[in-house]
Amino acid sequence: MSYYVSPRFLDKLAVHITKNFLQLPGVRVPLILGIHGRKGEGKTFQCELVFEKMGFEPVMISGGELESPDAGDPARLIRLRYREASEQVKVRGQMCALFINDLDAGAGRFDSGTQYTVNTQLVNATLMNIADNPTNVQLPGSYDATPLNRIPIIVTGNDFSTLYAPLIRDGRMEKFYWEPTREERIGVLSGIFPTAELSQQDITQLVDTFPEQSIDFFSAVRSRIYDEQIRDFIHKLGVEKISKRIVNSAEKPPEFQNPNFKLPHLIEMGKLMVGEQKRIQNMRLVEEYNQFRTFNSQFGVPSTQVNSENPINLQNKIEPNSDGKKLPIEVLEQIDYILSSSYRIGLEYADKRRFKTGSWNSCGLNSNESKPNIIQGIETCLTEHPQDYIRLLGIDPIVKRRVIEMIIQKPE
């Protein structure tokens, strides 16, 4: 099976890796390339395909390895793996790279509830130090004066705004936002579904049927198709015998024929999976439970008086007026409350696809302006994004945390 490598992705990685192995006089080359984007869009897999195409195997670190009960272990691990990659260049005589997967999950700070440990600080400081001195990376307790080979560092993540700001500055990290286009998604699916299983026309129609889904959704659909044959195999053999038949069995492993990969069947399976996604998004039970707890603790309402069929919703959601500009009285009252509480005002928008994934863009509202200018800025944002979700934010400048989120526009 031949997998698709995006030319845009290949170009970015190949240029960054090659540039770090060249001697460019008077040019400061960032050591780190940060690839970020929505979950499930194939960032890690595309990186692995590029590494394979360039003919080398990277030294890898998972974001889960960047925390430890012993302070200093993750920072030492980064230095050790970097030196290991440098040694591979010398021994094998070929390129190498340090690949850190899901960096934001291991070293990011998502909100005030995320614990900022000593290891988190040391990981950020270590990566900054390596980016500034890539040929002089020492292990704790020892010193080696021999210069190391410069090793490019590739990191992936979903939201780099959670990382330490000096680490992601342009001199140290070059950023690459990966959001595959329609043509790139079709190309990736051509690798997931070979021509013998699905024609190019069917692949295009499948992508257009689920335009808001990430790449891993289609891979999961393909995997789901095999469930029917496995279910028949279990029912035929018997649930009580399945363990002995598969694990440590003297018989050869069971074989399965190619399942039904016809387009209508794939679309049907995909719609079932979309329904499961929406059910999770619509339930949001943890928010409901937390809202009940906050409401009860504030007003002394016994939990038995809360009607689960008609839950209390503390987040106002307001439809825009018919003219699309004049703000409802509820929004004006919320603005007054935010300003009177000495909070900063923020404004964000997202289209239907990004709204489902929680990926918002800033409207660029200046919270230092006067109230009339703030209102005018909000009305301008509503006018410029009539088909997007727009939400108003109240931000506590002391703890730098959002304390109010209010959706003031929803698409029709």
Average pLDDT, the chain: 84
What is residue 196's DSSP assignment?
A: T
Residues with Cβ within 8 Å of residue 50, at least 6 apart in sequence: 5, 9, 10, 13, 14
Q: What is the pLDDT of residues 152-173, one digit of tens each?
A: 999 999 989 888 899 999 999 9
* Domain definitions of the chain by residue range: 7-177, 182-282, 329-409
Distances (CA, A) of 136 to 61, 125, 212, 320, 341: 20, 15, 45, 58, 50
CB-CB neighbours of 212 under 10 Å: 14
What is residue 141's DSSP assignment?
A: T
Q: What is the pLDDT of residues 378-400, one digit of tens each?
A: 988 888 888 899 999 888 888 77
Predicted local distance difference test score (pLDDT) of residue 152: 96
Q: What is the pLDDT of residues 106-158, one digit of tens each?
A: 888 766 555 677 888 999 999 999 999 999 999 988 888 889 999 999 999 99
Fold of 182-282: Helicase, Ruva Protein; domain 3 (1.10.8)
Compute the Cα dihedral for 133, 137, 143, 144 and give only its sign: negative
Predicted local distance difference test score (pLDDT) of residue 287: 56
Tell me: pLDDT of 297 over 90: no
CATH class in words for 7-177: alpha beta
Query: Which amino acid does the sequence have at 2?
Result: S
Q: What is the pLDDT of residues 237-273, one digit of tens each?
A: 899 989 988 988 888 888 888 777 888 989 999 999 9
Beta bridge partners of 349: 361, 390
Quote the pTM value: 0.68
Fold of 329-409: Ribulose 1,5 Bisphosphate Carboxylase/Oxygenase (3.30.190)
Query: Which of 339, 344, 335, 340 lies closest to 399 in space, CA to CA?
Result: 344
- Distance between CA atoms of residues 290 and 181, nearest Å: 38
